Structure 1
Amino acid sequence: MNNSNSNNTIKSSTFLRLSDLVEVNPTIDVSRLSKKDRVSFIPMADVSDGGHWVGSQTRSLSEVITGYTAFQENDVLFAKITPCTENGKGCHARGLSNGIGFGSTEFHVLRAMDGVDSRLIYHLSISPDVRAKATSLMGGSAGQQRVPSDFVRAIKISCKATELQELLVPMLDSVEEAIETTRAVIDQTRRLKTALLQDLLTNGLPGQHKNFKKHKYLHKMPAAWETKSIGDVCVIELGKMLSKVVKTGRHYRPYLGNASVLWGRIDLTDLEEMDIRDDELERYSLQPGDILICEGGEVGRTAIWEGQLKLCCYQKALHRLRPLQPNTLVPDFMRFFMEHAVRNNLLVRFTGESSIAHLTRETLINVPMVLPPLAEQEHIVAAIKSVEMKTKSNEKFQDQLVQVKSALSQGLLTGRIFLKGGSCE
């Protein structure tokens, strides 16, 4: 495709409205079907936040002919109720049983006009910009707000979207397929990590152990491993109490709260500060290698402080753990043990409570843990972290793909479509 613009951008000054491209909630003809014929059934639960049909239910026509939203092959379903609209729920109805489907009454049905690719309508329908505009038009009571059926009149779309649909739709489909493939790989590596945690923390390294023992709370483990209370392995300290008083003073220091400690990583966005005097720094400041465990919220969630900031403190919603003796504990081994413990309800079994709102210092001190030799800890940590790195790498790639798709989708609305070498970029 030739392009005369020096900045390789096609600019469109002419816009359509989405209502020019679709019918909203059109009728369907089921006269060719008998009441016993099977049709597809798509409840809201069977569509994903990413705009995909994840179920394959069918019902007899007689079961769904009344009380549900009807649609046909290649129609696009658009969730109209909060928070489903904002979350991107909907799908492209393809592969319907007998070409007909019924589903939630909380769907708007968008049917492409003649000459318009239904895949173009699908990609427009899940565009963040279209969702945001639709959300802004919601009406109704709080918690039951809905997008009106005429929302399509408020969505402006560049004429280039239809003029270039034969080029753009395959590109959007390819990017979406790559996103879904990458997401599947991420899910696979996460499952692999879970399996590794279970295997390595109960059986040890492959081929290293022949004899095993059982523990009341920890269950199976290699006989050569020690079992100790966490308080016998680490010094455990809670951070500084947050109050109005510490929000005033002359010694403001950044601090981590519960929300900053995620599984395996620290979130430094929007850090707040509190007054921590110089004589309190040794007690409340963090050092590289410190183990941080959430006292509340998602109890037991653990991450390692790696010295991301020159000076950072922590508040009372977090436990800070440091090994009592050098060369006895790899910090990431404790992180993986806590993840394993939470997944297997160790804390619940140990306390005897049905749920834990707060993990007190007194409780954490007495929680039992496995303690392999240091060298084996290092090998276990290396094996699990290698899987984590694969997950992180794929998550980064997925984020890049999402940005590409978002840019392409925005181009459908604005008409600013970047080209290189005769194809869209």
Structure 2
Amino acid sequence: MTWPTVKLGEVSAQIRGVTFAKNDTVPETAPGLVPVMTASNVTEDGLDLKSVLYLSREKILDRQFLRKHDLLVTASSGSLKVVGRAVLVRDNVDATFGAFCKVLRPGKLVSPNYLAHFLRTPSYRARVSSLAAGANINNLRGEDLDNLDVPLPPLPEQRRIASILDALDLELDSRRTALSRVNLLAEALFEGFLESSGEHPLARIDEIANTRLGKMLDASRQTGLERKRYLRNANVQWLSFELEDLNEMDFSPKDQVEFALAPGDVLVCEGGQPGRSAVWRGQLEDVYFQKALHRVRLNRSVMLPEVFVRTMKWLVTTGVLADSISSATISHLTGEKLRAVRIPVPPIDLQHAYVRQAQEIEDLADVHASHLARLDELFASLQHRAFRGEL
């Protein structure tokens, strides 16, 4: 069934945020101050209240206080993917919002939960991105927001659709929480491993591994005759790889030997977040690496790759690696600095014991991640059908 459509401005009132100067806000609360939500507080997972600014109550009009069932929308941002992001205010809160945000206050014809789900659909996001794109700042104008088409079934049907999507949302949140706890368990396991196995001898990385910076991308020397996929900084995350968007460039037969990857190699980011690392498992064949990455090929009779990566993360998190990072303009971990980094080297039998336990946790994380992926697919399917009248 195809539902009739209405303009968003016909079923909701639009409220502009509070305009204030930077020195009007403070980072700590006090009598007479109110938390002010900005674009950074509007996330895909709801309102993020970890970092909140406070503003004098006297600067805020009555209609600019958030109310239960309001939809807080990011209207302006340097990032196009942020513009149009919307969060449902589920409870009464004593808070306001800044001028880079807007509030949609639903009227009697539309369910707030239904409207909130509509504002998460890919079709809405695509439309908003096309309307808001700008040269420097991306801005969603009030009239453009009001003129968006919204499918509008009868209220009982809106509530039914919202209840189905809400229930699946809760299951997704539960699975994300479980996955987060498993990841915390992995962190705790490594910290316990370092503490329980006592003090360890320190070794320079070049004493336990060979390192190699990747191939430089030289556009003037590209022929297109021997194009190969390669890993760059963005493909290397902590403990894992993002392999969906690999770039290509020429790698001569000599390059293919010099910049080859073998299972057990560790890729370490030279820039971006210097030190970020992951173990290559041979996920893809005929893949090489670019200059933004170091390849670390360990002597595995001394140090296991899994322990090395966890150690690198520990060094970055604790700030120990900061002394090895050159940062005159942009932070870099040069080959010379990387080779000179000194890391603890636990006995190899303890490393193997740790890796076995870590693998059990990783297997559990994979189960949760797989379930989460399937739930995401189900949610996307139901969401698509819901607003086409097919649910």
TM-score, length basis structure 2 = 0.81
Partner residue in 2 for 1:16: 6
Partner residue in 2 for 1:395: 369
Does residue 95 (structure 1) correspond to residue 88 (structure 2)? The answer is: no
Alpha-carbon contact 2:71-2:87 (below 8 Å) kept:
yes
The AA in structure 1 aligned to 2:164 is M
Partner residue in 2 for 1:134: 128
Alpha-carbon contact 2:39-2:77 (below 8 Å) kept:
no
SS in 1 for 2:127: helix
Matching of residues 378-389 of structure 1 within 5 Å: 378-389=352-363
The AA in structure 2 aligned to 1:386 is E
Alpha-carbon contact 1:51-1:92 (below 8 Å) kept:
no
Alpha-carbon contact 2:74-2:102 (below 8 Å) kept:
yes
Identical-residue share of aligned pairs (%): 24
1:385 CA displacement: 3.6
Partner residue in 1 for 2:260: 285
Partner residue in 2 for 1:156: 150
Does residue 111 (structure 1) correspond to residue 105 (structure 2)? The answer is: yes
Q: 1:360-395 CA deviation, whole Å, 9 max, x = no partner? A: 222222211122222211122233343344344333
Partner residue in 1 for 2:185: 192
Q: Say which of 281, 286, 289 aligns to 1:314.
A: 289
The AA in structure 1 aligned to 2:206 is G
Partner residue in 2 for 1:208: none
The AA in structure 2 aligned to 1:408 is L
SS in 1 for 2:77: coil
Tell which has more relative contact order, 1 or 2 (C-alpha 8 A, sep 6+): 1
Q: Say which of 236, 254, 260 aligns to 1:261.
A: 236
SS in 1 for 2:147: helix
1:180 CA displacement: 2.2
1:348 CA displacement: 1.8
Q: Which moved more, 1:175-184 or 1:267-276?
A: 267-276
Alpha carbons of structure 1 residues 254 and 343: separation in structure 2 relative to 1, 3 Å: same
The AA in structure 1 aligned to 2:61 is T
SS in 2 for 1:25: strand
Q: Which moved more, 1:132-141 or 1:379-388?
A: 132-141
Matching of residues 326-337 of structure 1 within 5 Å: 327-337=301-311
SS in 2 for 1:23: strand
Partner residue in 1 for 2:74: 79
Q: 1:124-166 CA deviation, whole Å, 9 max, x = no partner? A: 2333422332343338873162331452332231x44645223
Alpha carbons of structure 1 residues 91 and 104: separation in structure 2 relative to 1, 3 Å: same
Does residue 369 (structure 1) correspond to residue 343 (structure 2)? The answer is: yes
Counterpart CA distance in 2 for 1:374 and 1:43 is: 51
Matching of residues 192-271 of structure 1 within 5 Å: 192-204=185-197, 222-223=198-199, 225-244=200-219, 246-248=221-223, 250-271=225-246
Aligned length: 375
Structure 2: any 5+ residue segments left out of the alignment?
Answer: 17-30
SS in 2 for 1:16: strand
Does residue 345 (structure 1) correspond to residue 341 (structure 2)? The answer is: no
Alpha carbons of structure 1 residues 306 and 63: separation in structure 2 relative to 1, 3 Å: same
The AA in structure 1 aligned to 2:191 is Q
Partner residue in 2 for 1:212: none
TM-score, length basis structure 1 = 0.75
Alpha-carbon contact 1:138-1:148 (below 8 Å) kept:
no
1:289 CA displacement: 1.5
Pair member with larger Rg? 1
Structure 1: any 5+ residue segments left out of the alignment?
Answer: 1-10, 27-36, 205-221, 418-425
Alpha-carbon contact 2:80-2:133 (below 8 Å) kept:
no
Alpha-carbon contact 1:138-1:147 (below 8 Å) kept:
yes
Alpha-carbon contact 1:71-1:102 (below 8 Å) kept:
yes
Structural RMSD (CA): 3.5
Does residue 165 (structure 1) correspond to residue 158 (structure 2)? The answer is: yes
The AA in structure 1 aligned to 2:178 is V
Counterpart CA distance in 1 for 2:387 and 2:243 is: 35
Counterpart CA distance in 2 for 1:344 and 1:140 is: 39
